[in-house]
Every structure is written in structure tokens, then in C-alpha cells.
């Protein structure tokens, strides 16, 4: 089940996006922006994947740059469903991006031919996810995606101490990550992009 917004300036690497929100997530990030979308239970205002495809076909690509799939955690959706959404968007002339924890690297790999930009939220397990282990799988996903198609979102300043940040940076070096300098302490969320 999905929700939809036709116009967003904040849910893509740049430009304007239409966003399909994939409902359902097992994690418990304390800063979750979309807690109402964590449930897997059907709700009256939910959309099916066919509804999403219909909405994508209705997009005028002169007005919208990206089709974004966010969540919830989109990787908990059936992979063929995700492929259908992204391939429909590409056939309509849109660029595609996914916002994800990267918790299922096998699905990330299957999406490489369908997704132009992967926005992976690298969380430390047991710190941000209530005991679910996601850290190593996220790192594996980061290692799978070509660096020119990858954005890693790492920082919540209320939580990440300098020591934690150093530990995360060491882990990212382990997957051949190169850090782009950012002012990590200037905002509540820092974005690190590939060098
Ligand atoms: S993974 Fe995303 S949707 Fe799930 S709890 Fe964390 S921020 Fe919310």
C-alpha cells in the first residue's frame, strides 16, 4: 500500500519530485518523519501499486524531474512492484530515486538497473533502530551502489557524538567510501555525498 504526493521540493537530489510513499517499516528511528506510514495495516486512504502507476502516467515530465519512492521502508515491498513503479517512471521520462535504510542489499542490487539515485540513510544499529541490526546490511548496500549514484545521510546532531561519527566514518571507509567535507554540526541532519 502506498501514499502519494504529486509535488515535492525536498524528496530528490535536486529539482521537483512526485513521491510514492511505500507504507510499512519495522524500524523505530526516534526522529522518524513519517511515523504514520510505519504501519503495514491497510487504511482507507491507501493506494495500490496500480494507482501509483496510473498517477505516474499522468505526470507531465516538463513539470516534474523525479519519481521518488520513500517510506516507510520501500525495500519491504515486493521487488517486482518496485521495479514496475520505477520502470513506469523511466518510460515517462522521469529520473528515479529511492529513500531507504539499505537494509536489504539483495534488493538494492536488483534495483540497480531501475534507480538513478540511491539515498541511503546509514543508521547505527541499536542506536537508532531499537535493537534491529541494520548496520552491516546498510554498509553492504552502500558498497553495491555506484558512487556517482549514491547519497548517504548519516547525521542527527542530537544523537551522534564525535566518537560515534568517527566510528561511522571508519565503517564507511571499509566499503571504499570517500567523504565529502560537510559542516556536520550546522543543521539537524547532515548529508555526505560521494567525493
Ligand atoms: S527507517 Fe524510516 S520509516 Fe522506518 S522508522 Fe526509521 S525513519 Fe521511520
At residue 147, does pLDDT exceed 80? yes
| % pLDDT > 90, the chain | 55
Mean pLDDT of 12-39: 90
**What pLDDT is stored for residue 124 in this prediction?**
63
Mean pLDDT of 51-65: 97
How many angstroms separate the CA atoms of 49 and 177, rounded?
Answer: 34
At residue 101, does pLDDT exceed 60? yes
62-75 pLDDT, tens digit each: 999 999 999 999 99
- pTM for the whole thing? 0.85
Backbone Cα Rg of the chain: 16
How many angstroms separate the CA atoms of 31 and 154, rounded?
Answer: 13
CA nearest neighbour of 126 among 39, 30, 25? 30
At residue 184, does pLDDT exceed 80? no
Ordered strands of the 150-156 beta sheet:
2-8, 17-22, 66-71, 95-100, 117-121, 150-156, 189-192
Mean pLDDT of 165-180: 67
Helix (H) or strand (E) holding 170: helix 162-173
**What pLDDT is stored for residue 80 in this prediction?**
98
Residue 74 belongs to a domain with what CATH number?
3.20.20.70
CB atoms within 10 A of CB 102: 29
User: Hey, is 80 helix, strand or coil?
Assistant: helix
Direct distance between the N- and C-terminal alpha carbons of the chain, in angstroms, rounded to an integer: 36
Ligand 1 centroid–CA 175 distance in Å is 23
Q: Is the CB of 72 under 6 A from ligand 1?
A: yes
Mean confidence (pLDDT) of the chain: 83
Number of domains in the chain: 1
Mean pLDDT of 81-99: 98
Mean pLDDT of 166-180: 66
**What pLDDT is stored for residue 121 in this prediction?**
84
Q: Domain of residue 85: give its range.
A: 2-192
Cell digits of residue 102: 539499505
Paired with 192 in beta bridges are 152
Paired with 118 in beta bridges are 98, 150
- Under the banding of pLDDT at 50, 70 and 90, the label for residue 193 is very low
Q: Which residue has the cell 548519516?
A: 154
Q: Which atom of ligand 1 is nearest to the CA of 101?
A: 1
Q: Ligand 1 pocket: which of 101, 123, 126, 189 to mutate (most atoms <8 Å of CB)?
A: 101
Q: What one-character DSSP code corresponds to residue 147?
A: G
Amino acid at each position: 500500500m502506498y501514499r502519494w504526493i504529486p509535488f515535492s521540493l525536498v524528496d530528490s537530489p535536486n529539482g521537483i519530485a512526485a513521491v510514492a510513499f511505500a507504507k510499512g517499516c519495522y524500524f523505530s528511528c526516534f526522529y522518524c518523519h513519517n511515523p504514520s506510514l510505519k504501519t503495514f495495516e491497510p487504511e482507507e486512504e491507501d493506494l495500490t501499486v496500480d494507482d501509483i502507476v496510473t498517477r505516474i502516467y499522468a505526470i507531465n515530465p516538463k513539470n516534474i524531474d523525479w519519481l521518488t519512492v520513500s517510506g516507510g521502508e520501500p525495500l519491504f515491498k515486493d521487488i517486482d512492484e518496485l521495479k514496475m513503479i520505477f520502470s513506469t517512471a523511466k518510460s515517462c521520462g522521469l529520473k528515479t530515486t529511492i529513500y531507504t535504510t539499505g537494509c536489504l542489499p539483495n534488493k538494492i542490487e536488483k534495483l540497480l538497473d531501475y534507480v538513478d539515485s540511491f539515498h541511503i540513510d546509514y543508521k547505527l544499529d541499536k542506536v537508532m533502530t531499537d535493537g534491529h541490526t541494520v548496520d552491516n546490511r546498510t554498509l553492504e548496500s552502500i558498497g553495491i551502489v555506484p558512487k556517482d549514484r549514491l547519497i548517504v545521510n548519516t547525521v542527527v546532531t542530537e544523537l551522534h557524538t564525535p566518537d560515534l561519527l568517527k566510528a561511522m566514518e571508519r565503517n564507511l571507509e571499509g566499503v571504499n567510501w570517500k567523504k565529502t567535507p560537510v559542516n556536520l554540526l550546522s543543521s539537524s541532519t547532515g548529508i555526505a555525498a560521494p567525493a
